[in-house]
């Protein structure tokens, strides 16, 4: 999916230029953006499948949509946890944030 590729490239670029103490927040925001895109795609597919009278397909797509929505909710909870702890305990150089940034390079 070209749109997902673009979102991933944006997340990598943002992570590279972000202070280590904020990388987790930036990466989670990228995940939120991807999930919103995927949810929109599923919603459109459901509309079209329903218009074609394919309730069998709608059922599968709605299951997948539910999974994406649950994942989005989980990522948002993680964002809240990271936001609550980041100002108090920013990752140190060489910590998890640095490893993530190195992996994205």
Question: How many domains does the chain contain in total?
Answer: 1
CB 39 within 8 A of CB 69: yes
User: CATH number, domain at 28?
Assistant: 1.20.1260.10
**For residues 9 and 46, which has the higher predicted lDDT (pLDDT)?**
46
Residues 27-66: tens digit of each pLDDT:
888 899 999 999 999 999 999 999 999 999 999 999 999 9
23-30, long-range: CB < 8 A, 24+ apart: 23/91, 23/97, 23/100, 23/101, 24/82, 24/86, 24/91, 24/96, 24/97, 24/100, 25/79, 25/82, 25/83, 25/86, 27/100, 28/75, 28/78, 28/79, 28/82, 29/79
Q: 3-class DSSP state for residue 52?
A: coil
In a domain, 104, yes or no: no
Structural domain harbouring 39 = 2-85
Which pLDDT tens digit goes with each residue over 61-105? 999 999 999 999 999 999 999 888 876 555 555 555 565 556 665
Q: Does residue 42 form part of some domain?
A: yes
Q: Is residue 54, in this structure, part of any structural domain at all?
A: yes
| 96 contacts: CB under 8 Å, gap ≥ 6 | 24
Question: Distance between CA atoms of 6 and 4, rounded to whole angstroms?
Answer: 5
């Amino acid at each position: 999916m070209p749109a997902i590729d673009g979102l991933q490239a944006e997340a990598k670029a943002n992570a590279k230029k972000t202070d280590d103490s904020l990388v987790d927040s930036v990466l989670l925001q990228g995940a939120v953006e991807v999930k919103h895109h995927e949810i929109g795609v599923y919603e459109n597919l459901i509309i079209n499948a329903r218009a074609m009278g394919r309730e069998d397909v709608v059922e599968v797509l709605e299951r997948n949509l539910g999974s994406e929505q649950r994942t989005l909710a989980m990522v948002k909870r993680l964002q809240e946890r990271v936001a609550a702890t980041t100002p108090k305990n920013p990752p140190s150089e060489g910590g998890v944030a640095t490893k993530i940034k190195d992996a994205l390079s």
